Amino acid sequence: MCVNYLILLTFLNSFVAASNYGSASDCPAATKYGTGPETPCTQPSDPNNKSKTELESWLTEEIFNELFPKANIGWGPNSCWPYSYEAFIIASRYFPNFGTGLNVNNSVYSTEQNRKRDVSAFFAHAIQETGENNIALYDTMNSTAADNCFYRGGLYNWFEGGPVSSFLNPESPGYQPADGDACIKSGLYCASSSQIDYFYKCSNGTSDSTSTPYTGCYFGRGAIQISYNYNYGQFNDWLKTQEIDVDLLANPNLVMTKMNPPLAIMASLWFYMTPQPPKPAMHDIVMGNWNAGEKNDAAGYSGPIFGPTSLIINNECTGEDSADPGQGGENRRIKAFKWFCGYFDVPYGSESTLSCKGMPQQFDTMYYNLSYEPDWSTSWKDQPCDCAPASYGGMINYYDPSYYPAQFVELNEANRVKCVASVYANPSMYSMDNSTSPCLNYPSAS
């Protein structure tokens, strides 16, 4: 892949001066909801005792608490609740490339800059997804002071629509993590198809509450709001590879209540760090570990940039507003990324690629193989069924070596075997039967 380094090198001139960022003590206290953490409580812990990463060498508890004084619906970082430094560090140890500068292919930024830009991008999306987003600050403070308090408002909400979520019981609308155990019908967020139902079928569980009778509720939860049953299911699959035994399809609110290990930040880091073809991982875009394709590369949309991450998380490509803080959506993600980069004294990159607004070719129009599907070229033969890469999306990812890092390409063979097993277990979801697909009459070779 040819990278336009002349454009990328201009990033180094795009610094936000790392000064006058104030402190959390300069900010008005956040509105608090509920009665605060219950004590005693279950502290966050890691059953796998994962090793420390380089992230811990520079992102200290003091910095974390200074950046998120309004976390947990206004009560601040607290180890009894979903958002705390302890929970953040445990989650980050499961992703040793996060905030460490390891396995980064770009030469545009230094290792230190890559580390801090990576964390800045994750924190920026958390501002938009679960921030306090108190625009009233700009009515009573000058722009700089208001920015310093506004962008310290991340990790405020737990649930989509919080701090008082309309999906929850009005008598327990999100003041404790366990409030998310049940919801009304609009909070189900249940996607259904023959393949989704086979791999990630929604729970039909019910609660004792007449106002919130459902427990299979897949609305947004966590730092950057994981949502829908297929995302909960895929995260659950990944947890199993880490020897963490949970059933998030049956109990999705464990994302907020489980503390061994704590999942609220971990689920969001998993989403940030994991590609879902045709979408690269947000982390890989910010680090430059992605193949943007010829059209995007020619336009400068390649290498370590921020813009396309907004396309991945919520299909937002509206650009940055001139006003502060401006509207929600991509605008606020951009402004937050610039603020965090300034706080950490690292460049945020070219203004032109902070948004995906000018990206010539979006991911869903890039043509390459994305998933494993039955191998239709051999299904009619008198031999065992197999699976092969297909150019359309499916429930079992195929990671094209030209587009994805080696750690994901290594998963391909296991994914092929998973696909073959599903063909024999439930051929009808692929519109196969023993007469039209004779391969089903032969035992699997995988």
Q: Which CATH class is domain 5-159+277-353?
A: mainly alpha
Task: Return the pLDDT at 9.
Answer: 40
SS3 183: strand
Confidence at residue 19, expressed as pLDDT on a 0 to 100 scale? 62
Reduced to 3 states (helix: H, G, I; strand: E, B; else coil), residue 7 is helix
Sign of the alpha-carbon torsion through 172, 255, 152, 353: negative
Name which of 80, 97, 86 is nearest 38 in CA terms. Answer: 80
- Two structure tokens written together for 162: 């919080």
Q: pLDDT tens, 172-185?
A: 999 999 999 999 99
* Residue 67 and residue 123 in contact, taking contact as beta carbons nearer than 8 Å: yes
Q: How far apart are CA 377 and CA 107, in angstroms?
A: 43
What does the alpha-carbon distance between residue 99 and residue 242 come to, in Å, rounded to a whole number?
Answer: 20
Q: Kind and range of the H or E element at 388?
A: strand 387-390
User: Which one, of 354, 313, 254, lies nearest residue 122 by Cα?
Assistant: 313
Q: What's the pTM value of the predicted model, to 2 decimals? A: 0.95
Nearest to 129 by CA among 4, 213, 221: 221
Q: How far apart are CA 86 and CA 308, in angstroms?
A: 30
> How far is the C-alpha of 289 from the C-alpha of 104, rounded, in Å?
7
pLDDT tens for the chain, 446 residues long, are 444 443 444 444 343 434 689 999 999 999 999 999 988 999 999 999 999 999 999 999 999 999 999 999 999 999 999 999 999 999 999 999 999 999 998 999 999 999 999 999 999 999 999 999 999 999 999 999 999 999 999 999 999 999 999 999 999 999 999 999 999 999 999 999 999 999 999 999 999 999 999 999 999 999 999 999 999 999 999 999 999 999 999 999 999 999 999 999 999 999 999 999 999 999 999 999 999 999 999 999 999 999 999 999 999 999 999 999 999 999 999 999 999 999 999 999 999 999 999 999 999 999 999 999 999 999 999 999 999 999 999 999 999 999 999 999 999 999 999 999 999 999 999 999 999 999 999 999 88
Which residue ranges make up each domain of the chain? 5-159+277-353, 177-266, 367-441
Is the torsion defined by CA of 232, 238, 242, 246 positive or negative? Answer: positive
In angstroms, the CA 326 to CA 319 distance is 11
The predicted structure's pLDDT at residue 393:
93
CATH 3.30.20.10 fits 177-266, yes or no: yes
| CA proximity to 182, closest of 161, 202, 168 | 168
Give the helix ranges, DSSP H, for 190-344.
194-200, 229-241, 254-257, 264-273, 282-287, 294-298, 308-314, 330-343
